[in-house]
A and B are shown apart, each in its own frame.
Chain A
């Protein structure tokens, strides 16, 4: 069986975390060893599965074959640096006193996705399928594009140039000729040091020199993350809700996905209410004081259902499988996950529908 990564994306508050958990439950029920993970520092994945801590892959009670993970970015970043220091021990002293490294590994929000992806790439080989609960909207797209942007630095000439700059600046005891060749670089470093300070510049240079020396390891790590999110392997579940304006959100996300070479494999319309035909408002048994409220309910439910229909029509036009999840009259996240999982497993996408990959995706994958 080929490996799959499902990435759930959507705007905030549409129920991405719930849908991610439910999707994972559904896949695990189908007999696949499933890992569900969040790459957003704020996500409440544990709450949806009734779990407290998700630092390492944690078995989800009641769901054989399902494990959940919410990587701890501080611990993960420190472990990563430690792992890299074993490869380049000469940097240990300088990295140990490096304020930039300390700040980056001390729970820096921007490091979270990097570390989460590294952790995922490390543990995912023991699973058949990984479900990623991504950060809201624009940021989710950034996560998808992250490995490529990192690769631009690490695999290209950039890291070599930066590494040489760092080495030359940190060890200036070279001959006059070598110094002359470095004039441009020294000029840049001097200009920065005079307006920012020499300590931050030295810390940055120390980190760059270190990164240049462990480039092969970083490269392998990025390749792992790349593979996890490559268009050939990742399936995007675009999550939305049945409300006015949702069609615009969906179209915008699809356009943003296209920019990074992805297209949705599944559209999930969450919280689609049932119809409330006017016969109820007109029913003689209804208390007279309720008529106005029921009529308002019917109007509002119509707006939501029309939004859901519009999204279904778009998805159908794009040739993307779409599934509607009803809204449930409860607020309990664990109960909703069970209900959503049941709704998902009834969809045709689950029974082979999503296995057929549209040809456009293959074309984009070769980009």
Chain B
């Protein structure tokens, strides 16, 4: 484009048309990933591919934002290098943590965590107590009409 190398007083200027165009591409890519995920949940089970497509497209979108919106395409390469290095450090952190946790994963204790389990047990106990003593929950009061049908329904279900 003719405007691509427009220079202002202190630096390169990104043309408006380019910004709008890139935004349109980004919106399209977003819609694409949403469509693929809906596909996965509702119609076809593409499983792992959904993750790869979603994260791959996200990376493409991020690259576009960095290069064009954030001006890295026209900046000194050292800045891109530094930014990429920080992403690399995050990946390093994640990979070591993953390696560690996978080695211990088979030993994960099954079931809910202790406090969660205690809470669930307590809720069970109070729900049983409430039911046994004949009180019903607020919601069930609304089903006053259906109350006498309930035992019959249950008997039919068994």
Q: Are A and B part of the same complex?
A: no
